[in-house]
Amino acid sequence: EDEFPGVDVEGGLSRPVLAASGHLYFGLQDEGARVDCVMFAARARALKFDPKDGAQVRLRGDVTLYPPSGRYQIVVDRMEPSGEGERERRVRLLRAKLAAEGLFEPTRKRPIPLLPRRIGLVTSPTGAALRDFLRVVFRRFPRARVVLAPARVQGDGAAAEIAEALARVAARPEIDVVVVGRGGGSIEDLAAFDEEVAARAVFASPVPVVSAVGHEIDVSICDDVADLRAATPSEAAEQTAPLLSALEDSLADRAARLRTAVRRAA
């Protein structure tokens, strides 16, 4: 049990039985092997499909040993039809819908301001993304001003919180750009950034939005809608906070050129 937490297994359902307690008992098998599984009532009630005998599924759970029979089983947390899972299907359909409405059009992307008066940040107030973002911002530009709009970034209702926080901070007159995102995680952890309500909030923002969902492989719908995608919150900080030393060097160079031009004009 200590060695195999959080396994992902795919196979065919065998003889699923819904007990009076609400627990779902079944086997998972392929051509050469079978393992017993149980999905407790709270999880079983949340299933979005009918688990029928022979159906191909993909599940995640923990391997445990059932002492009365001395047999291994998987205690299942999540289960969905295999092949194209239900979540993947919803994301694909939503992406097609938003693309048809023009939310991904490159021509509507706005430039990120060189020197924003205030940077809005929509993320969890307790996550590593906040610490990473602030560390890089203040290292690059110690005079930066960041306004945090806290929101949950995973779990039920997170997408609505992200949308509300984004709308609230972007409406402030001193905000010139907003970063929305989080650190890395599983596909399930990042699901809020593939929700329609979050994507439409990014699209409706009156100021440019940088999407910083920390996952290199998968591109979220919010990434596609945003004016700029950053691979991580730290990269978003580099995109939104200018490097102070570079600004000072540029100003010194321009001042020298201006003095030279004035002397020549005299």
Mean pLDDT, the chain, rounded, equals 91
Residue 170's nearest CA partner among 135, 146, 200, 205 is 205
Q: Specify the pLDDT at position 83.
A: 62
Q: For residue 248, what pLDDT is reported?
A: 85
What pLDDT, on a 0 to 100 scale, did the predictor assign at position 218? 67
Residue 68 near residue 104 (C-beta atoms within 8 A): no
Structure tokens at 233: 């919150």
- pLDDT at residue number 42: 93
> What is the Cα–Cα distance from 13 to 29, expressed in whole angstroms?
7
Q: Which two tokens mark 14?
A: 């065998």
pLDDT at residue 221, as a whole number: 95
pLDDT at 86: 63
* Cα–Cα distance for residue pair 132/153, rounded to 1 Å: 16
Note down pLDDT in tens along the chain; length 266 residues.
Answer: 888 778 999 999 999 999 999 999 999 998 889 999 999 999 999 898 889 888 889 899 999 988 888 889 999 999 988 765 567 778 889 999 999 999 999 999 999 999 999 999 999 999 899 999 999 999 999 999 999 999 999 988 999 999 999 999 999 999 999 999 998 877 778 889 999 999 999 999 999 999 999 765 668 999 999 999 999 999 999 999 999 988 888 889 899 999 989 988 87
Count of C-beta atoms within a 10 Å radius of residue 261: 10
User: What is the per-residue pLDDT for 2?
Assistant: 82
Model confidence pTM above 0.85: no
What's the pLDDT score for residue 126? 93
In a 3-state reduction of DSSP, which class is residue 31? coil
Tokens of 39: 């999905």
Which of these, 19, 58, 52, 55, lies nearest to 38 by C-alpha position? 19
Question: Within a 10 A sphere around the Cβ of 165, how many other Cβ atoms?
Answer: 23
Residue with tokens 């402030």: 172
